[in-house]
């Protein structure tokens, strides 16, 4: 296992970890508000439903360049949020059902489009679904005379955009997340905040596709914020913890992808997959050992309370 880590390449492995950290932290910020609004499935819905946007962008533009694909996916992500609200409002069903109907339908449509497009060009469906973070250091641009992975610059821009959005609209996001009716009475347009958050989630998910794909990005949108939610009841602390947990998952995930297969006699495995696994493990640890909501902590607290009561009686 340690032999595999001894072969760590400062440039390739270093940039893979940086890209993973930027991706996880960019996803964690909108993910916190999805968790608080009990809309975790919306991240799943958007990440799946952008596939037809990618395919249609290629069919219309005839190019695999980043800009048309990015725009097509973002439009599809925003339409997913609009369709979900429309189905929920006019269909008189709960939000989970409307998201299930919309994202499965659009995801299936996207797979059909991608399968058709793959007959004409090299469009790897596995790359779309699971990402290709291992290859991101090979596609570089020049920044101040230094070769920097293009994906790292994109994700850093998205992380900065998310930070600015959360700082500027912190009060509105907080009130509309916990009590939309109160937000409306206080003059905050809760519906506008909802669609702004959905647009930001769609942009973040699309920007993360090249690194972790349309399926694994869901883990980064939900697992670090959910783990942070189990560790604190304060929103600013939750936002900070989600960033730390996401970055830690990226480091542990890539190290695990290098070391664990070698320890068991297998070849390399997917770094993006291991980042998702690491995020899941951190979530489980938070669920077990969280100071207030953890399972172990709750058992210890109940035993101490019972002992105190018995001692006083």
Per-residue pLDDT tens for 217-234?
A: 888 889 999 999 999 989
3-class state of residue 1 by DSSP? coil
Whether pLDDT at 65 is above 70: no
* pLDDT, greater one: 47 or 122: 47
CA distance 112 to 105: 11
Closest CA to 28 of 223, 298, 295, 264: 223
Whether pLDDT at 269 is above 80: no
Q: Where are the alpha helices (DSSP H) in 37-149?
A: 40-49, 51-61, 66-91, 95-118, 125-130
Instruction: Mention every residue, 6+ apart, whose C-beta is less than 8 A from residue 251.
Output: 17, 20, 21
Closest CA to 53 of 38, 41, 69, 67: 69
Whether pLDDT at 64 is above 70: no
Residue 141 in contact with residue 155, Cβ under 8 Å?
A: no
Measured CA to CA in angstroms, residue 196 lies from 174, 176, 235, 285 at distances of: 14, 12, 19, 32
pLDDT in tens, 70-83: 788 778 877 887 88
Closest CA to 25 of 171, 224, 294: 224
Cross-strand pairs, 279: none
Average pLDDT over residues 241-259: 91
Closest CA to 285 of 240, 252, 254, 263: 252
Q: What is the pLDDT of residue 255?
A: 87
Q: The pTM is what?
A: 0.84
Residue 55 in contact with residue 63, Cβ under 8 Å?
A: no
């Amino acid at each position: 296992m340690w032999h595999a880590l001894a072969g760590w390449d400062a440039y390739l492995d270093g940039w893979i970890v940086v890209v993973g950290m930027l991706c996880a932290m960019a996803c964690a910020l909108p993910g916190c508000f999805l968790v608080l609004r009990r809309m975790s499935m919306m991240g799943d819905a958007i990440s799946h439903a952008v596939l037809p946007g990618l395919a249609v962008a290629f069919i219309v533009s005839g190019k695999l360049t980043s800009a048309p694909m990015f725009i097509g996916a973002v439009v599809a992500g925003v339409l997913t949020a609009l369709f979900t609200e429309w189905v929920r409002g006019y269909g008189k069903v709960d939000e989970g059902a409307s998201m299930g109907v919309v994202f499965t339908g659009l995801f299936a449509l996207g797979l059909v489009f991608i399968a058709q497009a793959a007959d004409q060009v090299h469009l790897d469906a596995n790359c779309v679904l699971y990402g290709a973070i291992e290859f991101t250091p090979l596609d570089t641009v020049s920044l101040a005379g230094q070769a920097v992975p293009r994906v790292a610059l994109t994700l850093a821009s998205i992380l900065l955009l998310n930070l600015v959005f959360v700082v500027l609209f912190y009060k509105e996001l907080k009130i509309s997340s916990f009590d939309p009716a109160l937000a409306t009475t206080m003059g905050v347009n809760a519906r506008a905040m909802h669609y702004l958050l959905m647009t930001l989630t769609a942009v973040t998910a699309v920007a993360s596709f090249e690194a972790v794909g349309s399926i694994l990005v869901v883990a980064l949108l939900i697992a670090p914020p959910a783990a942070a939610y189990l560790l604190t009841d304060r929103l600013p602390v939750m936002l900070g913890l989600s960033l730390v947990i996401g970055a830690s998952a990226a480091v542990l995930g890539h190290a695990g992808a290098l070391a664990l297969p070698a320890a068991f006699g297998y070849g390399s495995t997917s770094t993006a997959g291991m980042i998702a696994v690491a995020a899941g493990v951190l979530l489980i640890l938070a669920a077990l050992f969280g100071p207030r909501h953890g399972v172990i902590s709750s058992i210890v607290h109940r035993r101490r309370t019972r002992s105190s009561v018995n001692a006083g009686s």
